[in-house]
Amino acid sequence: MDYQPMTLVELARHLARHPDEKIRWKHVWEFLEEYRWEPADKQRILIHEEPPRVGEENWDVLLAALAEHLAAQLDLAPPEWTRPRVLATPWFPSSLRSKRMEALVWAPAAFRKHGVYLSAHDLEAA
């Protein structure tokens, strides 16, 4: 069996199966780690297809923000499916005051646009 990196579609399925936030974040970090090792042409494929809904709006929007952020790094337009996924109320995944302040300053543009406040440092540390 050949190794295949995780796609956003597969990530969404993992998130839907595991309601525990710690496990969900581990899947997000695993996706990012696998994504980083792929060449740009393969990275594009990993984020292009619309993932199924996780069942929680915050996580559905996080996937859109992630896809748009990664597309921007490849100098690509965001996938069409990301456009309508925007939160009416901003979401700060961390409850720690210091992490929230960091997210206000360092959240990537794509995440801010979608209403998800997660520091770029957290994405890089994954």
Residues 86-105 have pLDDT tens digits of 999 999 999 899 999 999 99
Q: Mean of the pLDDT values across residues 72-84?
A: 97
Task: Please state the φ and ψ torsions of residue 45, each to the nearest 5 degrees.
Answer: -65, -35
- Tell whether 32 is covered by a domain: yes
Query: What's the rounded Cα separation, in Å, for the pair 94 and 118?
Result: 8
- Judge contact between 124 and 107, C-beta under 8 A: no
Query: Token pair for residue 119?
Result: 């520091």
Angle 85-107-62 (CA atoms, 0-180°, nearest 5)? 30
Q: Report pLDDT digits (tens) over 28-55.
A: 999 999 999 999 999 999 999 999 999 9
State how many domains the chain has: 1
101 falls within a domain: yes
The string of pLDDT tens digits covering residues 21-32 is: 999 999 999 999
Q: Which residue has the tokens 């809904």?
A: 53
Domain for residue 3, yes or no?
no
- Look at residue 1 and tell me if it is in a domain: no
Residue 111 in any domain: the answer is yes
- Is residue 34 within a helix (H) or strand (E), and if so which, with residue range? helix 21-36
Please report whether residue 19 resides in a domain. yes
Domain assignment present for residue 2? The answer is: no
Range of 118's domain? Answer: 8-125
| 76 located within any domain | yes
